[in-house]
Structures are given as structure tokens and as C-alpha cells.
Amino acid sequence: MKESLTRLEDALKVVLDTVPVLGLEKVGLLDALGRVLAEDIIAERDNPPWDNSAMDGFAVRYEDIKQAHAITTPTVLKVIEDVPAGKFPAKTVGQGEAIRIMTGAPIPKGADTVLKVEDTENTPQSVKVFKDVYQRPRVAILSTGDELADLDERFNEEKIVNSNSYGIAAQVKEAGGLPILLGIAKDNPDDLKAKVRQSLNADFLVLSGGVSMGDYDFTKPVFQELGGEMNFWKLAIRPGQPVAFGKIGKTLAFGLPGNPVSSMVTFEQLVRPAILKMCGSQVLARPVVQALFQEKFSKRPDRRHFLRGVLWMENGMLMVRTTGSQGSGILTSMVKANGLIDVPVEVEKLKPGDVVNVQVLGGGF
């Protein structure tokens, strides 16, 4: 009688289910290559133990170079010392001074910025600065709604946790900005106005909630009362139709929807590119890949949709499916996603095997 054949994946499962994990042992450092660490090891000091330069260049004070922005008006600094890797600076960088340092060299006292040597013209005695050093934008984050409670507040069944502020803060940091949490504004114009005023020394205000057309949506009148110049209030996308953008004084203001997924998706499409541009980045968009859609989907041809999706590789082809229920209040649909499936306005239906564009989120898939 001919014996049946076992599938490779079944055989592998049998093998792995049978194999035990061995006990612990101590080994010398040179014998540890390729071994699995069995317990945490705590370093006794930072490594490197001091701030060092990631490039060859000049250690300077940002205050001295922030106006350097054109070839016609370079800032000239006096070079007071040379510090190669392996040596420590003996001098402190003062006003109008610079120290020439090599990759790996410690950052001298007084300096808070390192200029790439390629962005300068230098002699042994001086350095001309032709490029400004881009700062990190300050992004004030404000949530609105009487129904919200912050993480450190006691709340009852009538309250929901303020997840938007923390989700947006994470997105701001990932984009290179500095998040400033302003907390929660109540559903009244005076409280909202006071909170918005606190944001007007920041580069951006990102407000979530209060941008729809309900009786308690005060963002539009408050923005206008504070002299805001608003460019738009609604977008032809889903999720995220109610979105406002404008300027209040020198602060760029975004009003995002209150639903967490809508807030995060609209941040990806509008706020993130704006932060990256302010940081000086030349690449403002997420990487976009084409993948084979694995489900059925239908919509009206009136809005561009961003479906939360999971990308994976199969037989040399990129595949994508949704993360499940796509409601704008289902935060897990965003948590599980490694991409946003971009469905154009005019597309009404997708079927398995259709090619779609996917914006790749985070570190990819």
C-alpha cells in the first residue's frame, strides 16, 4: 500500500511542536554571536557617553546662523579650534564662533547645531554659512468636546477618552514636529477661543472636533473672530469630509474631524506634508505602491476614499485587504493598518484582483 505524502507546512508544524526550548546558560562575550539573549541586560552608561557629531562640519550656535539663507548674505563665523574624532574640545563656542569637528567628535560646550561642511565655504580661520539649519515646527494640539475626558481625569459612562490628542501627537513626532498638548476645549465659544489663543505662538494648530455643522461646532466662528483667514471647510474624501485650513496670525491652523480615524487620515493627507515642508524636507508624500485588492468594495462616485489596509507579499506580488470594519470611529482599523488604500473619486466598485494604489504607512510591511 502506497504511503500518503505529508505537506511541508504540516511537517514543519509537527517538528516545531515537538522541539523544546533549552534552559539558560552563561557564555563569554565572544561566544554570544548568534545566540538568543535570555534576560534583559542594563547598560551601566550611555553609549556614546556624550553627544557627538554625525558628520564632518562645524559646531555652532543656531542663534548665530538662523539668518543665513542666501549666497549673497552668508554669515561668517570665526573658527577657534579643530577637534578630530577621539579628541575632546578645549574651548567653548561663543557668539560668532565655530569649532571644526569630525564625525564622531564630541559636541563642544556652547554649540547646539552642527553644519555640514558641504553647506559652507571655509578657511583655517573662518567659515561662511550659506544654508539655514531647519528647526522642528512647534505643533499645538487641541481636542474639543464636553464629552471628552483626559487620561488622568476621572470619568463616567457619559465621557469618552481623549484619544485624538495622543494619536495626533504621535503623528506629529513621526513627521518631525514638536507636539504641544493644549488639552480639551469645552463646547462653548469662550473656552475654545481661550485655548486657541494659547496656540498662536506655535507654527501649527491642529484642532480636532467642532468643524462640522452642528449647534455646538464653534470652530469656524472662533477662527473668524480671531482674524483667521480660512481656505476651505470641507473635502471630497472619506473619512474626513469636515476639514478646515487657514491662518490665524502667523499660525497655520487645521481643523480636523472629531472621529479618531477621520482625524488620523486627514492628518496624513494634509498636516503631515505641511510639517515635512516646514522641516525643509524635499519628500512630502508617503511611498505609494500598487497592490492586488483582495475583496469587494463599492461606493458612490462622489468622494475619494482612503481604506485602512494590510499589505503583504505573496508569490512575488503585493496584496492588500482592508483591516475590517471601516467606520470612522473604529480606531483599531487604523492601528492594524500598514497602508491606506486610495480609491479615486470616480471609482464605484472594486473586485478581487483589481490593482489599487496604497500609501505605505510607517516602516512599511
Task: Encode burial over 244-269: b for 16+ CB neighbours within 10 A, e otherwise.
Answer: bbbebeebbbbbbbbbbbbbbbbbbb
Architecture of domain 57-129: Beta Complex (2.170)
Tell me: domain 138-278, CATH 3.30.70.920, correct?
Answer: no
Q: Residues 6 or more apart from 175 whose CB is under 8 A from it?
A: 271, 272, 275, 276, 279
> Cα–Cα distance between 317 and 337 in angstroms, integer?
19
CATH number of 288-360: 2.40.340.10
User: What local confidence, expressed as pLDDT, does residue 27 receive?
Assistant: 85
Q: Which residues pair with 292 in a beta bridge?
A: 319, 355
> Cα–Cα distance between 139 and 171 in angstroms, integer?
11
> Cα–Cα distance between 95 and 114 in angstroms, integer?
15
Residue closest to 267 by CA, chosen among 192, 174, 336? 174
Q: Tens digit of pLDDT per residue, the chain (365 long)?
A: 566 666 766 777 788 788 787 788 898 877 887 788 888 888 787 767 788 888 889 999 988 887 654 445 678 999 999 998 888 999 999 999 999 999 888 999 999 999 888 878 888 899 988 766 767 789 999 999 888 888 777 767 778 888 899 999 999 999 888 899 999 998 888 999 999 999 998 999 999 987 765 544 677 788 888 888 878 778 888 998 888 888 899 899 999 998 999 999 999 999 999 998 988 777 888 999 999 999 999 999 888 999 999 999 999 999 999 999 998 888 899 999 999 999 998 999 999 999 999 999 976 55
User: What local confidence, expressed as pLDDT, does residue 129 receive?
Assistant: 83
Domain boundaries, the chain: 57-129, 138-278, 288-360
User: What local confidence, expressed as pLDDT, does residue 49 receive?
Assistant: 78
- Report pTM: 0.66
